[in-house]
């Protein structure tokens, strides 16, 4: 009980001092938010397998390509169609013959936008033989037979019907009723969701209202099974942060990259600061020729330009996050050495150190049991200040295409953005969020480090 009180007392005093620095409290709040995002990632993103399937194109194939976030509608004069998933479709079954069964579902879609969707998709799982037929009834009463397609599979497999591919001819024939010449490069959904008149192609006006999609799945064998049917409106806006040119959800990638940013920053700074603290203490404790040699080694490392070395080594060795962390640790350890050495020179002259020597304590015991513990508060402050550097270096190396492509990092997202022409095409939602995320995490640990450094270093106190 007494031991708990002896621990709680200093912690309480530290917190009372820490909370007086508002930027430190802001750093704590942001850190808590980041930890919540990491812990509850699977519940906060629409694609929970983004971390493991970021490069799997089949995982993202139902998303629209390179579209802005849904909240862009608050800032534009024309409304973009958001992406919508219609799940748990309850089909009505009708036995037409002993081996033929018709499954029917009428999906009513309320269209109240100016920019039409990119695609509409019907997908599910099946076994056996069936025919898919989709007919849409527009608000003006006209109907368009969109799809007639047969499916056959002896074992259970996925089926996917993309209207942008399957309904091309049907929609173009519908448009020819009003305008004979239909260009090849026009979107069929700009026709399907426009008013039916002579300007349906040259100057389309949105036809708002309720669209009824009559979905018929006709089983042509008794052993046919159809499961998990889903209808997806792949909109012209999608998700909290839009999508990239590989149809990946940027918000899911951003949250997936957060845990790697925290891991890289904290792991790298913990190892490098730990090595730097021990190195500085040993140098100060032994002094003499040992100190001189160790300081010359430190001067060599401190004068090596880190970023060019990282780029060269990343190009030589196979890109791996562990290789990058090791390389950063090999150079980051020099940061706290000088400060630790000067502090250790003062500590080793204290009476408790002299008493330990007089009692026959070994050098290693004095270093690790008496001197290093005195420097732990400074080590924590130094760790917090080193985290942003590690994150920025990883992002820089990944931005140049030399990062680990097997994981999702913010640097990888930025690299894909620049190589995918996001700047030229104006896809700001692909570039700005990763940059802001890097800045926010860096700012968080900088605030924490400055606050701890001010509290633990008497020379920085302002009162």
Question: What's the pLDDT at 182?
Answer: 81
Domains and CATH numbers, the chain: 11-40+250-460 (1.10.3720.10), 78-234 (2.60.120)
Percent of the chain at pLDDT > 70 equals: 96
What three-state secondary structure class fits 160? strand
Shortest CA distance to 257 belongs to which of 157, 454, 391? 391
User: Residues 382-420: pLDDT tens digits?
Assistant: 888 899 999 998 898 888 888 888 889 999 999 999 998
User: Residues 181-214: pLDDT tens digits?
Assistant: 888 778 899 999 999 988 888 888 999 999 999 9
Question: Does the pLDDT value for residue 13 go beyond 80?
Answer: no
User: Residues 417-453: pLDDT tens digits?
Assistant: 999 899 999 999 999 999 999 999 999 999 998 888 8
DSSP 73: G
Mean pLDDT over 328-356 rounds to: 88
Confidence of residue 360 (pLDDT cuts 50, 70, 90): confident
Mean pLDDT over 354-374 rounds to: 86
Confidence of residue 463 (pLDDT cuts 50, 70, 90): very low
Question: What's the pLDDT at 461?
Answer: 47
Question: What's the pLDDT at 78?
Answer: 92
Question: What's the pLDDT at 99?
Answer: 85
Q: How far apart are CA 78 and CA 74, in angstroms?
A: 9
Question: What's the pLDDT at 435?
Answer: 93
pTM of the model: 0.87
**Count of residues making up the chain:** 463
Return mean pLDDT, the chain. Answer: 89
Question: Does the pLDDT value for residue 459 go beyond 50?
Answer: no
Question: What's the pLDDT at 370?
Answer: 86
Instruction: Determine how β-strand 119-137 pairs with β-strand 84-86.
Output: unpaired
Start-to-end CA distance of the chain, whole Å, equals 34
Question: What's the pLDDT at 108?
Answer: 93
User: Residues 160-178: pLDDT tens digits?
Assistant: 999 999 999 999 999 988 8
CA geometry: angle 243, 248, 254, nearest 5 deg: 85
Question: Does the pLDDT value for residue 231 go beyond 60?
Answer: yes
Alpha-helical segments (H) within 107-162: none
Mean pLDDT over 276-287 rounds to: 91
Contacts of 436 by beta carbon, 8 Å cutoff, 6+ apart: none
Q: How far apart are CA 249 and CA 256, in angstroms?
A: 11
Percent of the chain at pLDDT > 90 equals: 57
Question: What's the pLDDT at 308?
Answer: 86
User: Residues 319-337: pLDDT tens digits?
Assistant: 788 888 988 998 899 988 9
Confidence of residue 8 (pLDDT cuts 50, 70, 90): low
Question: What's the pLDDT at 460?
Answer: 43
């Amino acid at each position: 009980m007494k031991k708990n009180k002896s621990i709680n007392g200093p912690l309480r005093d530290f917190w009372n001092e820490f909370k007086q620095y508002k930027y430190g409290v802001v750093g704590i709040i942001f850190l808590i938010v980041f930890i919540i995002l990491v812990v509850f990632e699977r519940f906060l993103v629409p694609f929970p397998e983004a971390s493991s399937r970021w490069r799997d194109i089949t995982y993202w194939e139902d998303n629209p390509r390179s579209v802005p976030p849904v909240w862009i509608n608050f800032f534009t004069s024309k409304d973009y169609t958001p992406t919508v998933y219609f799940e748990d479709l309850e089909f009505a079954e009708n036995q037409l013959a002993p081996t033929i069964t018709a499954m029917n579902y009428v999906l009513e879609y309320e269209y109240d936008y100016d920019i039409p969707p990119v695609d509409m998709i019907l997908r599910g799982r099946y076994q056996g033989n069936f025919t898919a037929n989709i007919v849409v009834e527009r608000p003006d009463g006209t109907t368009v037979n969109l799809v007639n397609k047969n499916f056959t599979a002896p074992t259970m497999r996925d089926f996917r019907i993309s209207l942008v591919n399957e309904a091309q001819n049907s929609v173009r024939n519908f448009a020819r009723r009003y305008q004979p010449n239909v260009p090849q490069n026009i979107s069929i959904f700009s026709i399907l969701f426009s008013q039916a008149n002579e300007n349906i192609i040259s100057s389309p006006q949105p036809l708002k209202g309720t669209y009824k999609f009559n979905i018929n799945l006709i089983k042509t064998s008794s052993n046919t099974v159809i499961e998990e049917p889903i209808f997806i409106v792949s909109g012209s806006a999608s998700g909290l942060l839009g999508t990239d040119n590989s149809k990946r959800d940027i918000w899911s990638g951003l949250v997936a990259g957060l845990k790697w940013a925290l891991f890289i920053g904290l792991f790298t700074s913990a190892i490098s600061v730990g090595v730097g603290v021990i190195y500085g203490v040993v140098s100060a404790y032994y002094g003499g020729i040992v100190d001189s040699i160790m300081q010359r080694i430190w001067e060599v490392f401190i004068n090596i330009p880190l970023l060019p070395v990282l780029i060269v080594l990343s190009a030589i060795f196979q890109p791996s996050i562990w290789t990058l962390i090791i390389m950063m640790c090999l150079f980051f350890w020099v940061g706290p050495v000088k400060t630790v050495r000067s502090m250790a020179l003062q500590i080793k002259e204290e009476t408790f150190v002299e008493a330990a020597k007089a009692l026959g304590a070994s050098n290693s015991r004095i270093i690790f049991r008496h001197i290093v513990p005195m420097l732990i508060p400074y080590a924590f402050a130094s760790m917090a200040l080193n985290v942003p550097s590690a994150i920025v270096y990883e992002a820089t190396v990944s931005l140049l295409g030399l990062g680990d492509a097997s994981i999702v990092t913010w640097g990888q997202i930025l690299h894909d953005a620049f190589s995918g022409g996001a700047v030229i095409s104006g896809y700001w939602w692909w570039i700005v969020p990763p940059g802001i995320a890097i800045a926010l995490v860096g700012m968080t640990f900088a605030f924490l480090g400055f606050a701890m450094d001010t509290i633990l270093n008497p020379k920085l106190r302002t009162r």
